[in-house]
Amino acid sequence: MPRSLDRERLHRDLLLYLSARGSASGTDAARGLGISQPAFSRLARELGGDLFVTGRARSVRYAAYREVPDVGRRVPIYEIDELGSARHVAILHATRPNGFFVEALVDEVQSALFGDLPYFLHDLRPSGFMGRLVPRRHTDLGAPNDIQLWTANHCLHYLTKYGWNLPGNFIVGDDAFRLYLANRTGPTDAVPEKRRSAKYAEFANDVLGAGPAGSSAAGEQPKFVASKSPGPVDVLVKFSPPLTNPLSQRIADLLVAEHISHDVLRSCGHETPRSELIEGGNRLFLEVERFDRTAIGGRRGLLSLFSLDAEFVGRLNSWTDSADHLAAQNRIAPALREEIAWRELYGRLIANTDMHAGNLSFVTRGTRVVGLAPIYDMLPMMYAPQQTQLPQVKFVAPIPDPTQAPIWEAARAAAREFWATARTHALVSVDFRRIAAGNMAVLDELKGLGDLLPVAARHAH
């Protein structure tokens, strides 16, 4: 066989070998190809730009580059801090067969190889109500209309082209960063406070028609992102259907309930976003200030419990269960575990049946967890309409177990205050006031139950 053809075969065989394994050491690759270590070293030099090489000395590993359509082989990842300063934190390298290598440039990010889009970018994938609008709004992406069919390549194309205003503080790619700069220097006009009623009604009609560019907030509740003045202040606005029937009124009741929950939790010393109820266009709007944005144009990093559990735990049983495992791995501070347990218990006491792992998030710097994000999406979802029907359900309060002794009474009292406030709120329907009154009575019957819990557990940490 001519030498040139032999080299071509070896080039092809090496790329196929690495594609099948994701990455390999030089020793393993040489053995797999049936060649000596010096021959492999020459082969790696000849392939040059087709190989991604990481590590030093005996820890060197090789992977084969691949081209992500409309993106390329590598893209930068930027982070915006709370003061609005940007830093280049990593380079994302696309590797065969479908993976990525994160090359960390700062201490708060770890270099690692991933078989899919890295876990810390998972929350940027289009999802929920607004995520489903992305393919319709950005037809130039050529991505499937069903976002559940999107591959990592589809997601990366979207992130690098339009992902300048997504949850958290990561921006992937130079094009998205240029969009971020354009919107910082020439932002869309913020909505004056006095005009919110009319403008939010317009925005609701718009988002139901097509959806705003550059945004994707998770969750099924119809919503849009906006900014209001003075400030400007970045907000997420949820809205009800036109208030013409009991179903739409129930959705409005739940928006009120979420606002009440914010106020009650804040009064109990728990961090929640500021929110406000606004009526307009025969709809009710819940305006929530974005806690991943700061008043001076900065951003805060966020990672959902879903992303962390999926990468490091693989259970997704409950908030507290995931927190226990993450704390045991030193990925979150042990002190956060009790606050998470408190939130989960409070949620059960207000009939929140939708405490999935996307509804709890952590504040991050780089990919390192530095604290808990404020409480969000905390409302009695047991009463949400189901398939155009109002559920006929009975609230059964949870009975504490001994491990909940330190948190039981405070959570019960907070939940009791929530139901008491909902029972008399002017924007709550007569039907939901009745529900709130009944549930308040249920929690009143549990007063004193905490005194029966074990004393040792009550003072445990």
Residues with active-site annotation: 354
Q: Find the helix packing angle between 37-47 and 3-21, rounded to 10°.
A: 90
Check: CB of residue 53 under 8 Å from CB of residue 59: no
DSSP bridge pairs for 99: 95
Q: Is the peptide bond before 232 cis (omega within 30 degrees of 0)?
A: yes
Which one-letter amino acid corresponds to residue 39? A
Q: What stretches of 48-127 show up as alpha helix (H) in DSSP?
A: none
CA distance 395 to 100: 47
Q: Is the peptide bond before 230 cis (omega within 30 degrees of 0)?
A: yes
User: Cα–chain-centroid distance for residue 42?
Assistant: 45
CA distance 269 to 279: 29
Q: Is the peptide bond before 97 cis (omega within 30 degrees of 0)?
A: yes
- What are the two backbone dihedrals, phi and then psi, of residue 343, each rounded to the nearest 5 degrees? -60, -45
Q: Is the dihedral of CA 139, 141, 144, 148 positive or negative?
A: negative
CA distance 171 to 130: 19
Q: What stretches of 150-195 show up as alpha helix (H) in DSSP?
A: 152-162, 174-185
Beta strands in 137-214 (DSSP E): 170-172, 191-192
Q: Give every CB contact of residue 136 below 8 A, 6+ residues apart in sequence.
A: 145, 210, 211
CA distance 324 to 320: 6
